[in-house]
Each structure stands twice: as C-alpha cells, then as structure tokens.
Amino acid sequence: MAPLTYPGPVREGLAARRTRQREAIMEVLKEATGPIDAGELLLRSRARLPGLGLATVYRTLRPLLDDRCIVPVSLPDGSTAYELGGRRPHAHFLCTSCGRLFDVEAGPPCLPPGTVLPGGLVVDGWSLMFHGLCRTCRASGS
Ligand SMILES: [Zn+2]
C-alpha cells in the first residue's frame, strides 16, 4: 500500500490576509461615531487583528479608497481621517480640545450635485466642519 502523503498545513495566502485586514478596517469604521485617522484605525483594528502594522493599514486603505468604500476627510491641520463611503452628505464636528471628530447630521441646505452657483461654478459636493468642545471636554472644563 502506498504511504499516505499529507499536503501539509494550509498556508494562509496573501489574498486571505488582505481580506481579513480589509474586513477589520471596515468593521472599525462601521462602529466609529466619526472619521478616524490611520493611527486610531490601527489601534482599533489591532483588537481584531493583533500584529497589524501602520504600513499595512495604509496598504489596505488604498484600494478601499480607490473603490470609494472609504472616503478621506481632510482636517484643518492638513492630516486626513477616514470614514465609510456611500453615506448621506453630512457635516463633521472637530473638538478643539481632544481632537476627536464626530459625524453631525446637520449642515447647510443640501445642494444636489449639479447645482450651479453664481459665476457658473458647478457643485460636485460640499464639506463642512464645525469646531468647538465635545460633551466630555466641556464637562471636564478643558
Ligand atoms: Zn473633546
């Protein structure tokens, strides 16, 4: 009888790893109450995928940004935070004390894409960032 051969342990392919990284990042963003930056994304994703590194977070973000599954939010200091794409237009609130970002379901009257402003400027979209103190910082008097 021929000896049994074993194929050896299943190796985790790059595709599977990438998928898990993608899922972890998407889950973290789904649970977030506002846009978060790559560092915070890393911290929260590590709870699901220990050993995850910042370079991997950026590598995973790129195709998600290309596909608009995730959209960037530009911050006043020039840095970037991220949130899920495909959402209703909404504004953000930046706490000037702790730096946290919150989604705000308030904003200017919605300008549908294609709206023409004076001067023949055609609107693609809008972004609005409120500044102030969040509830926690206000309560702690900072
Ligand atoms: Zn705050």
List of domains in the chain? 14-139 (1.10.10.10)
Residue 72: closest CA among 64, 62, 80, 61:
80
Tell me the pLDDT of the chain averaged across its residues.
87
If you write DSSP's letter for every residue of 20-54 in order, what string do you get?
HHHHHHHHHHHH-SS-EEHHHHHHHHHTTSTT--H
Residue 109 has a pLDDT of: 67
Where are the extended beta strands (E) located within the chain?
A: 36-37, 70-74, 80-84, 91-95, 101-104, 116-117, 121-122, 129-132
Query: Which is it for strands 121-122 and 129-132: parallel, antiparallel or unpaired?
Result: unpaired
Q: Ligand 1 centroid to 116 CA: how many Å?
A: 37
Q: Ligand 1 centroid to 135 CA: how many Å?
A: 7
Q: Ligand 1 centroid to 132 CA: how many Å?
A: 8
Q: Is the pLDDT of residue 127 over 90?
A: no
**Mean local confidence (pLDDT), 23-37:** 95
Residue 124 has a pLDDT of: 84
Higher pLDDT, 89 or 119: 119
Q: Ligand 1 centroid to 24 CA: how many Å?
A: 26
Higher pLDDT, 13 or 106: 106
Neighbours of 32 (CB within 10 A): 19
Chain position carrying tokens 């209703």: 88
- Predicted TM-score of the model (pTM): 0.79
**Packed helices 54-66 and 38-46: angle between N→C axes, nearest 10 degrees:** 110
> Is 131:94 a contact under the CB 8 Å cutoff?
yes
